[in-house]
Amino acid sequence: MSSSVERFDEKARREFSRRGRTVVHRGELLRHPVYTRIVHWGVALTFILSLLSGFAIYSPWLYRWLTPLFGGGPMTRFLHPWFGLFFVIFFFFQFLNWFAPMHWTKADKRWVRETKAYVTNRDALAPEDTGFFNGGQKLYFWILAFSAIFFLITGLLLWFGDVIPRWLVVVSYVLHDIVALIVLAGFIIHIYEGTAAQPGTFQSMTNGTVTEEWAWTHHPAWYAEVTGRDPRQDYEHARTRQTERGRAIEAWERDQKTRDQAAPPSASDTRMP
């Protein structure tokens, strides 16, 4: 990417970070600065509005339920291309913002081949060469990038359908709808992965931070890069500490039971070791 685009992105990050705040507590790492979060939620909002208004136009059954949200049928038809246009604009800024970390590497190819292990949670940690984004996230990003171009071209052709050959309008309709269904599938997986599947991920797009445990579990190479520490070693230390704590609590509970059986408990007996 040209250095002028990088400079623009860097300046935007700096400006937004001056206005907004990201508090990184002990044991946490900065994941997404203010600018990235605002752009992401801009993309999300305009995408959801485009999707809902698009489905309302697409399906007569949904039309009844969704069009009142946008002020009726004609208003939904009027607003949909504008939502779509704003989605493409927001996504363009997200594209510039994430172009560098979204570069496809050999590690991503391996990650995609091992998707089954990821879905079934076979390993406690992601492959050690998983960087800031994993192969699945990059795939989603690139599908969106190509979809945005498709939406823009086919959307403009539909918008100005009156002055365009009929066959081109029909082809645009079909492509527009197919791409919408593909991104809808990706969007459902994305929401699941960003919330329920990986606890701690959602806060990266709200507070901007993640815990160190989250980082060494899901993105070990990024963890090593930003902390200079070995993710596997830190994971093993944390596991040992957790096991020792568990044992100490068990021993305390056993001790407590024995004392309770021997004599009625007094206030001083109920303290933790």
CA dist 57 and 221 (Å) reads 45
> In terms of Cα–Cα distance, which of 89, 99, 97 is closest to 46?
89
Work out how close the CB of 260 gets to ligand HEM at its nearest, in angstroms, rounded to a whole number: 47
Residue ranges in contact with ligand HEM by CB under 6 A = 31, 40, 43-44, 47, 133, 137, 140-141, 144, 187, 190-191, 194-195, 201-202, 204-205
The residue among 160 and 192 lying less far from ligand HEM, judged by its C-beta, is 192
Work out how close the CB of 259 gets to ligand HEM at its nearest, in angstroms, rounded to a whole number: 48
The residue among 195 and 240 lying less far from ligand HEM, judged by its C-beta, is 195
The residue among 82 and 161 lying less far from ligand HEM, judged by its C-beta, is 82
The residue among 12 and 31 lying less far from ligand HEM, judged by its C-beta, is 31
CA dist 242 and 235 (Å) reads 11
Work out how close the CB of 194 gets to ligand HEM at its nearest, in angstroms, rounded to a whole number: 3
Work out how close the CB of 111 gets to ligand HEM at its nearest, in angstroms, rounded to a whole number: 13
Work out how close the CB of 106 gets to ligand HEM at its nearest, in angstroms, rounded to a whole number: 19
The residue among 67 and 135 lying less far from ligand HEM, judged by its C-beta, is 135
